[in-house]
Structure 1
């Protein structure tokens, strides 16, 4: 049985899912991932799991009907990523990947570096053959991103997207610039910041637990890049964002010897200064 999280309601739902899975002969395995598996689940957490269906039953397995036996569903649909997303009657969310066991379980070790399962046996709710547990053990060690190549990639991304941001601002598209700033540029800044602070546990969702993971100085720099979707505010935030990006790039260059395209950076700065 899985170990307990900090949320009894979530524990109860996971225990019920495990019992239901064991009673469903078409399932070969069930693997949890996300906040529950790294000990961060709370009353606001959802359930994220892979349901590995025996290959010969994939076409006949109805994920909605299966999950409705777990708890009444307020919503169930296949989202933009092809994942079955549900909302239970107590407003707990869930995301369930329903996949053929054969190729699906073989893919699990390839997630190394992207998914962390510190207690693989606890994340495996069902394993009829032993294959899933063996595969999950590949994810037991958290492997941080390789710093030099990752820093170079993020530095290039920040220059490219900030240049686009400057052009969009110059065109007067405030809403589009606002979206670029907050949904494209900010996550890459936070990843570069995490890389520099040796704090990559929340790499794939770099804003998660930002208040606990990063120093106040970084949090204040991040806050300065946020803005309401008003033209003047977005322009100011864009300039603050680029200043922080340049500071992060300079720090990465000093630490790992990554080359900064200085002339391009200056030209982007000049372009942003004209957007007032």
Structure 2
């Protein structure tokens, strides 16, 4: 049994024994049959409303397993690095907020909602998880494709501008966003959009060898010439995708505009 699976079992047992806990659900890799020894463990734990003010999450998590680090990340999640270096993510909320689960439906596909169920005394958790079943949001839409193309242009121009200014480090940061939107367009073309919000996850298995090679070509280290090369390749990849997707989707950019970007790139002033 994986160490993560042992932690999951401990958390389930702890929820069942703690009268303050009303419900608990798990999300992430272990609910999608993708969990391995490198995976995180991730939970929403709903508490009785009367207990939420006095509840000490650090003490509760310490009762699961020893940890070396516990903090709130930029998204408001409680992140724990257990002493065995397994990463945990926890959301402790009032049971009155359990309907928040239904908002997850817009984030992706949940193939096995039964595996997400950990514990419940409210009688409401199962219904919320059932709501997540079925197909995820439709990503193959004009709006999504247009969004990806437009944001590619926005981040591409910003990245080139700061690179021309001499800010290579900032340009490298911009490149990560360029890559994100290129990957979303690649996934649209290959109809592999289940991981729309996390486009690099399982990329090695999700896309074709050609697409993976194209992604490789738009990566770079912190080197001015490598960055120019990556931005140039990104534009070439997007030109191909614009041509391939134009017959199926409506979007704002066209080949003439992309050629204009090529000219701007070539004129390194």
Tell me if both proteins adopt one fold, taking TM over 0.5 as the criterion.
Answer: yes
Q: Distance in 2 between matches of 1:211 and 1:43?
A: 18
**TM-superposed deviation, 1:199:** 0.8
> Given the alignment, which residue of 170, 193, 198 partners 2:191?
198
Are 1:48 and 2:42 an aligned pair?
yes
> Given the alignment, which residue of 162, 165, 168 partners 1:168?
162
Q: Which runs of 5+ in 2 are unaligned?
A: none
Alignment of 1:213-252 (within 5 A): 213-252=206-245
> Given the alignment, which residue of 126, 132, 135 partners 2:128?
135
**TM-superposed deviation, 1:223:** 0.3
User: Bigger CA drift: 247-256 or 8-17?
Assistant: 247-256
Q: Which runs of 5+ in 1 are unaligned?
A: 1-6
| SS across alignment from 2:222 | coil
Are 1:102 and 2:96 an aligned pair?
yes
**TM-superposed deviation, 1:88:** 0.9
Aligned residues: CA RMSD: 1.6
Answer yes or no: is the 8 Å Cα contact 2:140–2:188 preserved in 1: no
Aligned to 1:123: 116
Q: Distance in 1 between matches of 2:23 and 2:110?
A: 16
Alignment size in residue pairs: 268
Q: Deviations over 1:229-248 (max 9, x none)?
A: 01111111111111112222
**TM-superposed deviation, 1:168:** 1.2
Aligned to 2:149: 155
Q: Distance in 1 between matches of 2:21 and 2:104?
A: 21
Q: Distance in 2 between matches of 1:145 and 1:263?
A: 26
Answer yes or no: is the 8 Å Cα contact 2:235–2:258 preserved in 1: no
**TM-superposed deviation, 1:201:** 2.2
Aligned to 1:273: 266
| SS across alignment from 1:51 | strand
Are 1:74 and 2:68 an aligned pair?
yes
Q: Deviations over 1:16-49 (max 9, x none)?
A: 1100011111111111111111110000001011
Q: Distance in 2 between matches of 1:79 and 1:14?
A: 21
Q: Distance in 2 between matches of 1:18 and 1:81?
A: 25
Q: Distance in 2 between matches of 1:87 and 1:193?
A: 34
